[in-house]
Structure 1
Amino acid sequence: MKRVFLIVLDSFGIGEMPDAANYGDAGSNTVKAASTSQYFRMPNMKKLGFFNIDGVEIERPEEDWAKEEVTPVGAYARMTEMSKGKDTTIGHWEIAGIVSEKPLPTFPDGFPKELLDVFEERTGRKVICNKPYSGTDVIRDYGEEHVKTGALIVYTSADSVFQIAAHESVVPIEQLYEYCEIAREICEGKYGVGRVIARPFEGEAPNFKRTSRRHDYSLVPPNTTMLDQLLEADLDVLAVGKINDIFAGKGIGEMVRTANNAEGIERTLEYMKRDFNGLCFTNLVDFDMLYGHRNDAEGYAKALTYFDEKLPEILAALKEDDLLMITADHGCDPVTPSTDHSREYTPLVIYGDKIKKNTNLGTRESFADIAATILDYFDVESKVAGKSLLPEIM
């Protein structure tokens, strides 16, 4: 029995890629930004080799845990995004073996009237806002109008997203999900955004607050992924957090949604106690949703420290033939003026009883090396992009 636990620390970038300026992200470095906080501590990731990855910089080298010299017990690499983009969908697709040659469409001036006319007709509700907006700012600025009129707050961002915010007392959550399904149907072709996102909120003005019942409706991956191949080989594919949503259920055998990082870690630990043969794929979204997008470096640092504190429990639950892989899908620097994702390298740390200790895999050409490595580990001939790291780490 073999098991792989692949954990995505959503938005945990480790420094700008060479083409970052083309995306408006020159100088972005998510981990360095988070490390400026007094709450930043990652001694367990240090032991795995995270701080030995090419180019990783932090601002707290004077602290005891950062000064301590340790020989890493894992393999580690700096991952390059080969796809054209910097969003969740394209990042996860590449982790699963799909390289996207073209970026998904974005709408910096809002969605065209012809699309919204169809949406309004299908839902029976008017639309307000229709601009790129921060998710917390948009309910502050449009929440009262929505509550008074029942019009849906539709907005986007620098990412390829069609987001619908609605107060749960005005639009019941299941109805909001139905509206998102309508949007997913009509957002195709040139309007084929990566994700339609339900953004429910509650409370009273001026203290509206988003709830945890967010739900993503993604494009179906256009090609075969690692997940598809694992299922076809009669292996288990378990999805924790928004993984099922990101892949539109394609290639997923079993799934559980989560409200936050803490629950995502707990659900992963529960799967670690089960016997299965295959992959457990986890996304921890708080880094991105609660801290990166809100330019909250202190919160980001606390979330990283919390994950690091849970690592010993995760490592202790691994069995002899298990692999743990920790990575990210893009950056989201919490100290730059932008609240959007950033075009950054991402980390990869690999640990297991059979992994060569202190193996520096350098800078890889694609996130897809992760998919190729996992397929290789399960003796499944790869039909996806990427080069297996297995010969270098076993």
Structure 2
Amino acid sequence: MTKQRIFLIVLDSFGIGGAADAADYGDAGSNTLAACVRAGVRLPNLERLGLGNIDGVDCLPKPEKVIGAYARLREASKGKDTTIGHWEIAGHISPRPLPTYPNGFPQGLLDALSREIGRGVLCNKPYSGTDVIRDYGAEHLRTGSVIVYTSADSVFQIAAHEQIVPLEELYSICRTARGLLTGEHAVGRVIARPFAGDPEQGFTRTANRHDFSLEPPAGTLLDQVKAAGMEVIAVGKITDIFAGRGVTETILTHGNTEGLEKTSGLLGRPFHGLCFVNLVDFDMLYGHRNDPKGYAAALEQVDGWLPGALTRLGPDDLLLITADHGCDPSTPSTDHSRENVPLLAYGAGIAPCNLGTRDTFADIAATALEALGIEGGSDGRSFWNMMTREDVR
């Protein structure tokens, strides 16, 4: 039994409890799901798929009868960011962390950027994205210098007011930075962070963010599906995360609502291959802004979307729901958290069963390849046979 279409949906930053090595990352006690439960979240449909039955999840009900297969996934890569997390989901384990800059970037690098773009540079510190435009926005308006900042993740972020630096210029600046950030400074992502507003009324980030990612160092699930002559439809920021590699169609979105709408549209469209979806609002709007109630509401939106989606899955479809890291909105930190993530699987012929605790997110890629009938390598181990055996159905 193979599948025609796979819908792989990443709930960006939806961790389900601290990884065994969370303390090494300063994240002991982090649990994104538990924070949302304390905020009053209700997830009956995700629970029906098995969310509460996953190993180690003790903050949700455990229904006796579930309709999906479920697992807890550990991250084998060194890191806790979007790039490394998605690469691992797609089959590549990163043995070394991408570079981070807790003290800011080397001055020589910033001087080179300034020469190339003809603008000065402000800030150069780890910063919250909303705080940095509050603190440096007025100076940016006066000088035209771009705001460069980072976080605990491997990111080089450039903020600019859309009326001072038009979007295409900002994107060009980011491409220039991406070209400079190589070798020891090969950060995972250069991120354009446009904003609007004024000092009196306040500044707000717009929806025109754009990521310029490092290319994966090895072949991924996307490359293999495309090489097999199938489609790879990237919804949300997936194309950005994989630097466009392995993608046959890009559908950009502005937030979770549009991402779910576009995915619903694809459920009604025939194709052969992979639909890879990222829902970024969990991370960008709620995790990083320490907003448990907002995070909980976003989860309930996905939960409410699920029943209609499940009824539209055909006999040759497979739905996989997972995450790329954690971002506990209840801790003092506004950064990602090193957490285990869920895996929920549903489709015709998929047995409701506990797939246990898996050693790597890369098991998803291995399973997707087998489900599509593609022979290819992955750093993970497939659980396809476990959830399609006759004796567990």
| TM bracket, shorter-chain basis | over 0.9
- What is the aligned counterpart of 1:250 among 238, 241, 245? 245
What does residue 374 of structure 1 align with? 368
Matches within 5 A, 1:32-111: 32-38=34-40, 40-58=41-59, 66=61, 69-111=63-105
- What is the aligned counterpart of 1:275 among 270, 278, 285? 270
* Residue 351 (structure 1) aligned with residue 353 (structure 2): no
Alpha-carbon offset, residue 36 of structure 1: 0.8
TM-score using structure 2 length: 0.97
Q: Secondary structure at the match of 1:170?
A: coil
Deviations 1:317-365 (A, max 9, x none): 10011000000000000011100000000000000011012x0011001
Q: Distance in 1 between matches of 2:124 and 2:205?
A: 19
What does residue 9 of structure 2 align with? 7
Q: Distance in 2 between matches of 1:16 and 1:32?
A: 11
- What is the aligned counterpart of 1:337 among 332, 344, 347? 332
- Assess if the C-alpha contact under 8 Å between 1:321 and 1:354 holds in 2: no
Matches within 5 A, 1:1-394: 2-38=4-40, 40-58=41-59, 66=61, 69-206=63-200, 207-357=202-352, 359-394=353-388
What amino acid does structure 2 have at the position aligned with 1:287?
F
Q: Distance in 1 between matches of 2:333 and 2:248?
A: 37
What amino acid does structure 2 have at the position aligned with 1:189?
G
Q: Secondary structure at the match of 1:391?
A: helix
- Assess if the C-alpha contact under 8 Å between 1:14 and 1:346 holds in 2: yes
Deviations 1:290-314 (A, max 9, x none): 0000000010000001110111111
Paired residues, what number?
385
What amino acid does structure 1 have at the position aligned with 2:46?
M
Deviations 1:178-215 (A, max 9, x none): 00000000001111000000000001125100000000
Q: Distance in 2 between matches of 1:335 and 1:103?
A: 25
TM-score using structure 1 length: 0.96
What does residue 391 of structure 2 align with? none
Structure 2: 5+ residue stretches without partners: 389-393
Alpha-carbon offset, residue 57 of structure 1: 3.0
Q: Distance in 1 between matches of 2:12 and 2:199?
A: 30
Q: Distance in 1 between matches of 2:225 and 2:18?
A: 32
Alpha-carbon offset, residue 136 of structure 1: 0.3
Alpha-carbon offset, residue 70 of structure 1: 4.4
Structure 1: 5+ residue stretches without partners: none
Instruction: State the Cα RMSD in Å.
Output: 1.0
Q: Secondary structure at the match of 1:270?
A: helix
Q: Distance in 2 between matches of 1:268 and 1:188?
A: 35
* More displaced 10-residue stretch of structure 1: 16-25 or 203-212: 203-212
Alpha-carbon offset, residue 382 of structure 1: 2.1
- Assess if the C-alpha contact under 8 Å between 1:326 and 1:348 holds in 2: yes
Alpha-carbon offset, residue 380 of structure 1: 1.1
What amino acid does structure 2 have at the position aligned with 1:199?
R
Q: Distance in 1 between matches of 2:382 and 2:106?
A: 43
What amino acid does structure 2 have at the position aligned with 1:383?
G
Deviations 1:244-275 (A, max 9, x none): 00000001010111100000001111111111
Q: Distance in 2 between matches of 1:70 and 1:361?
A: 16
What amino acid does structure 2 have at the position aligned with 1:12?
F
Q: Distance in 2 between matches of 1:225 and 1:324?
A: 19
Q: Which runs of 4+ in 1 moved over 2 A?
A: none
